[in-house]
Structure 1
Amino acid sequence: MSPENRTAYTIDQAAIRVGRDKRTIKRWLADGLDHRKIGGHVYIGHDALLARWRKQMKNDPSRTRHT
C-alpha cells in the first residue's frame, strides 16, 4: 500500500488537495463520499477523495483544477 492510500484529509485539506471549495467537499460528503468521524472530526481517505474528484471531472471535464 502506498503512503497516499493511508493518508486521510480533513475537509479543509481535502478541498486544497483537489482544488475545490470546502462547501463542495461537504456536498460530496452529503452525497455519500466515504469518510470517518473520529472525535467529532471528519477524515476523508486519499483514494475515496481522488475517486470522487475523478468522477466529477469525468462528468464535467470543463471544470479544471484550481491551483
Structure 2
Amino acid sequence: MENNRWIDDIRHNLTLSLSSKSSWEKHHLNTWKKRYHTLEMDDFWRIHARSAYQTQFMGSIDST
C-alpha cells in the first residue's frame, strides 16, 4: 500500500507541474501580448516563455 501512495504522490506532483506550466506560460504570454500585438512578437514570446520555464523548472536544456 505504501508504494501505491508514493506513486499517487508522483502523479499528483506531475499533474501540478504540467498545470502550472500552462498557466505560467499563459500568464507570461498575456502580460506581453498587452504590449506587443504582432504575430512575430507573439511567436517570440511563446518561445521565450517556454525556454524560460524549462530553465527555471527543469534545469538547463541542451540546445544542440
TM-score with structure 2 setting the length: 0.35
Q: TM-score, normalised to structure 1's length?
A: 0.33
Greater helix fraction, Structure 1 or Structure 2? 2
Return the index of the structure with the highest Cα Rg: 2
Greater relative contact order, per chain length (Cα 8 Å cut-off, separation 6+): 1
